[in-house]
Amino acid sequence: MSTQITLFENMPDDYKELLAQLEPENVANSGGMRRLSIRGGVFRKVVNGNEIAELEERSLKAVIVKTSPISRTYYEGQYVAGQNNPPKCWSADTTKGVPSEDVLVTDRQSASCFDCKQNIKGSGQGESRACRFQQRIAVLLADQDGVIRSNEIYLLILPATSVFGDDKKKMGLQSYAKLLNTQNAYLASIVTEIRFDTDSSTPKLLFKPERVVSKEELALVVNAQKDPDVQKLVTMSVKPKEDTGTKQLTNDTVSPLPPAVEESAGVEAEANEIVAEPTVKKSKKNTETPPEQVDLANLLDEFDD
């Protein structure tokens, strides 16, 4: 029996034409760098390093426009709020299994992430690992009516607890994306509720589908995906400071603003704040049970029970 999703079958042709332009996931523009912080278990809007709003709501609705590969960062010493120290070693794409090429040879903790001493349980605080997973996503936020009307893109860096997790009622980003994939639906085609897990002692985000995007919203999403500045936003980039040999984390901002060097280092460090990491299961080739096929429309009703 076909598992092809029927969610978009009744949409008009011009909607389907826009839908065909969406990019598959790996799993802004004016006014400078925008991001969402989840420090302290609260959504905070930050523009160019300055917090401009603290949201009272424990959840928000958004469209996930782009995602980065899962990355890893190792910081020497403990996280200190407000300090803008760059990571000592990192991997911008964990599928490669090695430190990024820009990491100084003298700073690399191992030739392989898998064999790294910082990837051993207990190398961090308590039972945690010193080298931590994270993932960057770019989102379009819905307004108070739950509608996407603005083209302002926000960066959200997810800690490991928000990336992984197998509970279908409390899905991390990876499980959520895989579920949509079973329905042949892109993340960018769905309005997603992103909410804090109130049972978690540290900031942890959960994801669930709300509805399919409208034609007007879809046009905003397609334009955002084509914007090179959005790709820069989710790209982890480490560059040396001018006239020094010290590596510093940067995030290219929208021209004509200069790179927000100190701001970006703080962004990554904040995502590295000590939290209890989930257990990441190793995949077993040819032995995994195929994912259960779930009808997305029924899933929406299930989450509302």
Q: Residue 81: inside a domain, yes or no?
A: yes
The parent domain of residue 65 ranges over: 13-281+288-303
Helix (H) or strand (E) holding 54: strand 50-54
Structure tokens at 228: 């090179």
Q: What is the largest CA-CA distance in the chain?
A: 63
Q: Has residue 210 got a pLDDT over 90?
A: yes
Helix (H) or strand (E) holding 15: helix 13-19
Structure tokens at 58: 């424990």
Q: Can you name the residues that pair with 135 across neighbouring β-strands?
A: 158
Each residue of 122-163: pLDDT tens digit?
A: 888 877 889 999 999 999 999 999 999 999 999 999 999 999
Q: Residue 58: inside a domain, yes or no?
A: yes
Q: Residue 113: inside a domain, yes or no?
A: yes
Question: Cβ of 76: how many Cβ atoms within 10 Å?
Answer: 12
CA gap 271, 79 in Å, rounded:
10
Closest C-alpha to 215, from 63, 12, 7: 12
Instruction: Provide the CA 129 distance to its chain's centre, in angstroms.
Output: 20
Instruction: Provide the CA 300 distance to its chain's centre, in angstroms.
Output: 22
Q: Residue 1: inside a domain, yes or no?
A: no
Q: Residue 5: inside a domain, yes or no?
A: no
Predicted local confidence at residue 127, as pLDDT: 78
Give 297's pLDDT tier (boundaries 50, 70, 90): low
What is the number of structural domains in the chain?
1
Q: Residue 7: inside a domain, yes or no?
A: no
Q: Residue 3: inside a domain, yes or no?
A: no
Cβ pair 8, 239 in contact under 8 A: no
Give just the sign of the alpha carbon dihedral 258, 152, 20, 71: positive
Above pLDDT 90, what percent of the chain?
50
Q: Has residue 246 got a pLDDT over 70?
A: no
Each residue of 63-73: pLDDT tens digit?
A: 999 999 999 99
Predicted local confidence at residue 129, as pLDDT: 87
Predicted local confidence at residue 249, as pLDDT: 43
Predicted local confidence at residue 288, as pLDDT: 40
What is the arithmetic mean of pLDDT over 198-216?
A: 93
**Counting beta carbons within 10 angstroms of the beta carbon of residue 162, is it exposed (0 to 12), middle (13 to 18) or buried (19 or more)?**
buried
Question: For 43-52, 131-140, 269-278, which range has the lowest pLDDT when averaged over its residues?
Answer: 269-278
Q: Residue 8: inside a domain, yes or no?
A: no
pTM, to two decimals: 0.76
Q: Has residue 226 got a pLDDT over 90?
A: yes
Structure tokens at 213: 């995007």
**Bond before 256 cis per omega within 30 degrees:** yes
DSSP letter at 278 equals P
CA gap 259, 283 in Å, rounded:
38
